[in-house]
Amino acid sequence: MTPAEFKRRRRQLMRMMGPDSIAILPSAPVATRNRDVEYPYRPDSDFYYLTGFPEPEAVAVLIPGRKQAEYVLFCRERDKKKEMWDGARAGQAGACDVYGADDSFPIGDLGDILPRMLEQRERVFYAMGCNADLDRQLGEWVNHLRNESRSGLHGPLEFVALDHYLHDMRLYKSRSEIKAMRTAARISAKAHRRAMQVCRPGMMEYQLEAEITHECARHGARSQAYPAIVGGGGNACVLHYIDNDNELRDGDMVLIDAGCEYDYYASDITRTFPVNGIFSGPQRELYELVLAAQEAAIKKLKPGNHWDDPHQAAVKVITKGLVELGILKGSVPKLIRDKAYNKYYVHRTGHWLGMDVHDVGDYKIDGEWRLLEPGMVMTVEPGLYIPKGTRGVPAKWRNMGIRIEDDLLVTKDGHDVLTKDAPKTVAEIEAVMGG
C-alpha cells in the first residue's frame, strides 16, 4: 500500500467525521509469551488501515480542519540502546517524513497533549471496549474536562462509534487492496497444491502444516492469516482444530484450512482430499455433494443479490443431496425449514474477508440482509461433518469432515474467484496427487 492510499483513507474518514470532531485510534498492545519474550507483533487492523504504521505503542489522532496538524501520531521515541536490541524505530521525524503525519509526539506525552486536543472538540470518534487502558484514560480526561467546564472550557459532548464508519470503508476494497488480496490468494493456492503433492500416509498433520507455511514464505508471505487447520479423518469435524498433532492415515481424508497474510491482507482457503491421493466411493459421494453446494452458492455472488443468497443456495443443494444419499429423510422444503441439515452443516457459508480473516462490515442493514456490491470480498465455504459416532448414518460415511472454501470478489458483472488456482475437482486433486 502506498503512502497516498493511507492518506486518501484518512481524508475520507475525516470528511465523514465533519468539523469539531476528533478520532483516536490506538494500535494493538504487544502480547507477552513469557518473561521478556513477546509474540510476533501485528498492528491493529483499523489503526494500520489509516496509518500504515507498523510499530507498537502508537496512537493516531485525526482532527479534521485543525490548522497546526490534522493527523498527529504518538509513537515511541528513537532510542539508540533499545534499537540495538529490538530494531529501528521511526521516531517523531520518521512518523512525519515516512508515514505522513503532520505532527508527532512521544507516546509518553499522550496524557499531557491529548486532553488539550479534546478540549477543543465536540465529538470523539473512538472504538470503546477494544483497549481497556485507553478507555479508562479517556474517561478520566473527559471527566476532568467536564469538571473544568465551569471555568469556561468545554469538553467533548458526544462519543461516536468510530468502528461503524471505518468498517464500512474497509468493506469496499480499493484497487490496491484487491491486488494484495489476489497475491495472498495466489500464494495460498500454491501452498494447498504443494500440500496435496507431498501428502503421504504416515505423515504428521503438523508436517503438512509446515509444507503450507514453507511454501507461503517461499513466495513472500511470512505470516498466516490465522492458525492453519490440518485435520485428518474425524479431526476434520472439529471446526477450529489446530492441534495438528495426529498421524495422517491411509484411507482417511485430510481437511486443510489455511491462508497466508500478504501486506496485511488475508486469504482463507479450505481443501479436503484423500491422504493416499485416491477418493474412495463414499468419500467421493460426500465430496461431490459439498462441491455442488459450493458451486451453487458461488453462482449467487453478484451485485443485487443479498448476503444470505449463497448460503440458502448451499443449504438447498446439501439438503437435497443428503436426502438422495438417504442420510436425511423427508420432504426437502420441510427439512430446509426445520434446518435438519444443521446436524451435519453447522456453520454459515461464508464471511467478509480483508485485513482480518473474519473481516469487518455489517451483514445486515436495518434488519435486512445486505445487498452485494462490487468491491466486497467474501469466502464461500460450505461443509459436511459426520463424526465417528454419528447415529443414523451408515459407517462408510462416518469419520469424515469436508469443507471447500474459496475467496471471491464481487465484480460489476458477477464475481471473480481469487483462489481458483487451488485444485478443487476430484479429477484435478487426483491428478495433482498422482503426478
What's the grid cell of residue 375? 468491491
Residue 135 bears catalytic tag: no
* Region for residue 375 given its phi and psi (left: phi exceeds 0; alpha: psi -120 to 50; beta: otherwise): left
Q: Which of 309/381 has CB closer to ligand GLY?
A: 381
- Smallest gap from Cβ 279 to Mn ion, in A, equals 21
| Contact mark string toward Mn ion, 264..303, x via CB under 5 A | ----x-x---------------------------------
Residue 405 bears catalytic tag: yes
User: Residue type for 393, please?
Assistant: V
Biggest distance spanned by C-alpha atoms of the chain: 81
Annotated catalytic residue: which of 175, 240, 337, 391?
Answer: 240
Residue 168 bears catalytic tag: no
The residues, ordered by sequence, that sit 6+ positions from 136 with a Cβ below 8 Å of its Cβ are none
Q: Which helix (H) or strand (E) holds 71?
A: strand 71-75
Residue 381 bears catalytic tag: yes
Q: Which of 223/276 has CB closer to ligand GLY?
A: 223
Q: Which of 177/405 has CB closer to ligand GLY?
A: 405
Q: Which of 225/393 has CB closer to Mn ion?
A: 225
Cβ proximity of 91 and 97 under 8 Å: no
- Smallest gap from Cβ 168 to ligand GLY, in A, equals 21
Q: Does 44 bind ligand GLY (CB under 6 A)?
A: no
Residue 358 bears catalytic tag: yes
Q: Which parts of 358-417 interact with Mn ion (CB under 5 A)?
A: 379, 405
Q: Which of 194/271 has CB closer to ligand GLY?
A: 271
Which residue from 177, 211, 257, 406 is in contact with Mn ion, where contact means CB under 5 A?
257
Q: Which parts of 360-419 interact with ligand GLY (CB under 6 A)?
A: 381, 405
Cβ proximity of 49 and 39 under 8 Å: no
Which residue from 226, 287, 307, 345 is in contact with ligand GLY, where contact means CB under 6 A?
226
175, 219, 232, 255, 382 from 229: Cα distances, Å: 30, 20, 10, 7, 16
Nearest to 404 by CA among 419, 389, 387: 419
Q: Does 188 bind Mn ion (CB under 5 A)?
A: no
Nearest to 216 by CA among 255, 177, 173, 267: 267
β-bridge partners, 123:
21, 158
Rounded Cα–Cα distance for residues 40 and 59 (Å): 19
Annotated catalytic residue: which of 163, 252, 257, 359?
Answer: 257
291, 401, 403 from 288: Cα distances, Å: 5, 13, 11
Q: Does 257 bind ligand GLY (CB under 6 A)?
A: yes
Q: Does 268 bind ligand GLY (CB under 6 A)?
A: yes
Annotated catalytic residue: which of 347, 348, 370, 398?
Answer: 347
Q: What is the DSSP letter of 352?
A: B
Residues with a known catalytic role: 36, 240, 257, 268, 347, 351, 358, 381, 385, 403, 405
**Contact positions vs Mn ion (CB under 5 A):** 257, 268, 270, 379, 405
